[in-house]
Amino acid sequence: MIASSKVTEKAENRWTLIVKRFRSACVLYREGCNIASRRIIEDELPELIRAWIKLLPAVLKEDAKADLRDMFTREQSIVDQGLKLQGIFKETLIKNVIPQVEEQVAAKYRTLYLQEQQERKTRRADEAQEALNPTTFQTRPQAFGRSRKRIPLDDVQNMIDAVHEQKSESEEIADSILSLDEIVNTLTQANITPLLTQEKAITIQ
């Protein structure tokens, strides 16, 4: 940033804002929010850039253009690299991590089900024994508080089937854990096809 390294703090702050807003536009574009992205590029950035240029000495105008071109390329590259990393992360999360968690939950349900079946078997044995000894009267202790929830045999399979039908939810979980914006803020370089072509680049008046 040749121009931005030779100016006042006010101009530097304006430059920082320009970079931040353009980065946001790139992120929105890669996330499919084209209208919001274009709103920043066409409505916000030209005004911000013109205000920044006014804070620079006239001799730095050409340097400012070079700074902008470099920034456009760099930020788009960072966002694209972030998108690639997010894709890898989501694929790993959806294919490996989330299914493992779901299997652990399913295993817990299976354990509870087996425990319930064993308790039912024990109760039936007790009832059969009482039927053989009708003169023996036993008061079965009553359970106070919440009753044990009985889990049907098909609960586990239904749960797993439902999970497989909710791929979009897994993707939302993956996105919420590490967003593209967070990834972009940690990257420094990559290569992509620019969002702004030379013909559509913002011009400096």
State the amino acid at position 113 in one-letter form.
Answer: Y
Asked whether residue 93 is assigned to any structural domain, the reply reads yes
* Token pair recorded at residue 70: 């470099």
Which is nearest to 40 in space by CA: 54, 10, 20?
A: 20
Domain annotation covers residue 194: no
pLDDT of residue 145: 42
The answer to whether residue 71 sits within a structural domain is yes
> Is residue 204 domain-resident?
no
Match 């703090």 to its residue by tokens: 9
What is the model's pLDDT at position 15?
Answer: 92
pLDDT value of residue 180: 66
pLDDT at res. 176: 58
Please indicate, yes or no, if residue 141 is contained in any of the structural domains: no
The alpha helices in the chain, defined as continuous H runs, are 9-30, 34-39, 45-54, 61-92, 98-132, 155-164, 167-177, 180-184
pLDDT score at 134: 57
Contacts with 17 (C-beta within 8 Å, 6 or more apart), sequence order: 48
Long-range contacts of 93-99 (CB under 8 A, 24+ apart): 93/170, 93/173, 93/174, 93/177, 94/167, 94/170, 94/171, 94/174, 98/170, 98/173, 98/174
DSSP class of residue 3? G
Q: Residue 153 has what pLDDT?
A: 45
pLDDT score for 183: 64
The pLDDT value given to residue 146: 44
* Host domain of residue 171: 3-131+148-184
- Give me the pLDDT at residue 8, please: 81
Model-level pTM?
A: 0.52
Q: Is residue 61 part of a domain?
A: yes
Profile the chain (205 residues) by mean pLDDT over runs of 10 residues: 65 92 91 92 94 88 89 89 79 71 68 75 74 55 44 50 55 60 58 47 45
Does residue 202 lie in a domain region?
Answer: no
Residue 28 in any domain: the answer is yes
Give the number of domains in the chain: 1
* pLDDT attached to residue 151: 40
Quick one: tokens of 62?
């050409």
Residue written as token pair 């039912």: 120
> 84 and 190 in contact (C-beta within 8 Å)?
yes
